[in-house]
Homo-oligomer: A and B are copies of this chain.
Amino acid sequence: MATVRTGKEPDLQDIFAYVDAHREQFLERLFDYLRRPSISAYGEGIAEVAAYIAGVLSQLELKARVIPTEGWPMVFAERHDAPGAPTVLLYGHYDVQPPDPLDAWISPPFEPQIREGRIYARGAGDNKGQHFAQLLALDSTLSCRGKLPCNVKVLLEGEEEIGSPRMPDFVRAHRDLLAADLVITSDGPVDPSGRSRILFGVRGVLSFELRARGAARDLHSGNWGGVAPQPLWTLVHLLATMKDARGNITVDGFYDNVLPQTELEVRALADLPVDEETIKRSLGVEQFEEPSERGFAERISAWPTLTINGFHGGYGGPGSKTVLPCEAVAKCDIRLVEAQTAAEIFAKVEAHVARHAPEVEVVWQGGMDPSRTPLDSPFTEPIAEALAAAQGEEPLLVPAMGGSLPDYVWTKILGVPAFGVPYANADEANHAPNENLEVARFFRGIRTGAAILAHLGNMGPVRMHGRDAAGSRRHTAPPRLGPGAVVQSPQSF
């Protein structure tokens, strides 16, 4: 990719003034959206809200359509005002979590109310409030300038809260429709410190079960101990071959595709101002997991994990029971880092188990590849500059979050760099009662959205090289790096 910088910061004062002048109207428009339930888990209001938000996009003179899927529909819109300028795909989701437990809400979940500077409603932060801020950024820019400074596509999903089951196939089937130079998602929270951040990636995840069986039934441990196979011991010994006590994952070939961190990533991780002692206190632990020499940010961002999510077999009640259980199950997940894939690692787990405990069944429970946009992407600097311009301070740069989101559909399937630019406060209580979004962050989101459009437009003509656009680790131009903290999105998988 080649970028031509104008060398001049875009002037955004008229747009910021417009936003300030329309606070009441913007809030009322958001409330109108928040009042409409769209609960994907139950299908409640989905069709109505898809049509509603497509209408909002049409009013902005975007070419909008509701695209049916085998599940809940996608809402897509686009507007191309800036030939030669980058095309940004803004991704969000119009569905919300169920509001239960209802009686824990101070005000009803679909009757938005402002209290102490926060908008309380289901979807306020996750995700209506955040993508609606992006749409109002389009609105404000169009109102002030009559056109957008870069080309914009909008994709709003209706199944994010039920795991985005159709997203990978949808993206595969609509490569041309979705073709863009970059994807920006405004979802999840800013840093707990309140500072904004740009997220460049996520760890992937592979979930699987190990199932071991012994005799046809539970047995008396005295009568059969030393005779009957013990599936709990089988799993203990198998698991002990998969990860050692030093924290190294010893599944054969596991680290083959773990790419070393780039210099930029190493520097970014080292720069993150993490207070490990405070984290330990909040967790109630004295030590982090082995290996002890790894820093917090490096652990979360740069290393894969093998977690036992659950291990069950035999008696679990009070006191003792001299039983020799006939079955045992361990549920595990592996957090993946670039360039591992869920399919590759599952095959390696299967091969490892076949070699060490062939009687154990390995059952795939789900997988999501990791995603990583290089910190030296040509879009890093304009986005970071836009955040600084809109918010008055440098954003933190986070190479990868610990949790997993299907960002790989952008970087791996669509083949473009993907950035997370969250607007919500860290205590947004998404998925929980009394979900909320700080009013100030809503307006800051509108300003930021407008600034990003302007800074992308300011890049000048962009020439993409197809899927290489996801970025190259050979790229050496360092972006500006701010200090930051690795954070956790409570809504990630």
Q: Which of A237-267 contact B (CB under 8 A)?
A: 237, 239-240, 243-245
A287 at the interface (CB under 8 A from B): yes
Number of chain copies forming the complex: 2
A308 at the interface (CB under 8 A from B): yes
Chain B min CB distance to A204 (Å): 10
B222–A402 CB distance below 8 A = yes
B333–A322 CB distance below 8 A = yes
A351 at the interface (CB under 8 A from B): no
A18 at the interface (CB under 8 A from B): no
Please give, as numbers and ranges, the residues of chain B lying within 8 Å of A283 by CB-CB distance. 215-216, 219, 224, 227-228
Query: A325's contact among B215, B224, B309, by CB below 8 Å, is which?
Result: B309
Q: Which of A330-350 contact B (CB under 8 A)?
A: 331, 333, 335
A226-B316 contact in complex given A220-B490, A309-B323, C-beta closer than 8 Å: no
**Chain B binder among A146-154, A175-183, A299-307, A386-394:** A299-307
A287–B229 CB distance below 8 A = yes
B323–A310 CB distance below 8 A = yes
B313–A310 CB distance below 8 A = yes
Residue among A207, A304, A331, A493 having the largest count of chain B Cβ atoms under 10 Å: A331
Selected A-B contacts with CB under 8 Å, 14 pairs: A214-B285, A216-B285, A221-B307, A221-B309, A222-B493, A223-B402, A226-B299, A227-B300, A228-B288, A232-B310, A236-B308, A309-B321, A309-B324, A312-B314
B335–A221 CB distance below 8 A = yes
Chain B min CB distance to A317 (Å): 8
A203 at the interface (CB under 8 A from B): yes
A315 at the interface (CB under 8 A from B): yes
Residue of B nearest to A334 (CB): B225
A68 at the interface (CB under 8 A from B): no
Residue among A310, A312, A403 having the largest count of chain B Cβ atoms under 10 Å: A310
Q: Mark A197-227, 1 if CB is under 8 A from B, else 0.
A: 0000001010101000011110111111111
Please give, as numbers and ranges, the residues of chain B lying within 8 Å of A3 by CB-CB distance. none
Chain B min CB distance to A250 (Å): 12
Sorting the interface of chain A by its residue count into under 10, 10 to 19, 20 to 34 or 35 or more gives 35 or more
A69 at the interface (CB under 8 A from B): no
Residue of B nearest to A321 (CB): B309
A215-B285 contact in complex given A239-B236, A303-B226, C-beta closer than 8 Å: yes
A366 at the interface (CB under 8 A from B): yes
A227-B287 contact in complex given A221-B333, A316-B329, C-beta closer than 8 Å: no
Chain B min CB distance to A368 (Å): 10
B233–A243 CB distance below 8 A = yes
Please give, as numbers and ranges, the residues of chain B lying within 8 Å of A300 by CB-CB distance. 223, 226-227
A325-B310 contact in complex given A205-B222, A283-B219, A296-B227, C-beta closer than 8 Å: yes
A492 at the interface (CB under 8 A from B): yes
Residue of B nearest to A238 (CB): B245
B226–A402 CB distance below 8 A = yes
A328 at the interface (CB under 8 A from B): yes
Q: Mark A159-191, 1 if CB is under 8 A from B, else 0.
A: 000000000000000000000000000000000
A365 at the interface (CB under 8 A from B): yes
A52 at the interface (CB under 8 A from B): no
A309–B322 CB distance below 8 A = yes
C-alpha spacing A303/B224, complex, angstroms: 12
A100 at the interface (CB under 8 A from B): no
A404 at the interface (CB under 8 A from B): yes
Residue of B nearest to A487 (CB): B223
Please give, as numbers and ranges, the residues of chain B lying within 8 Å of A284 by CB-CB distance. 215-217
C-alpha spacing A331/B315, complex, angstroms: 8
Please give, as numbers and ranges, the residues of chain B lying within 8 Å of A333 by CB-CB distance. 221, 225, 320, 322
A207-B311 contact in complex given A223-B403, A237-B240, A284-B215, C-beta closer than 8 Å: no
A230 at the interface (CB under 8 A from B): yes
Please give, as numbers and ranges, the residues of chain B lying within 8 Å of A310 by CB-CB distance. 232, 313-316, 321, 323, 325
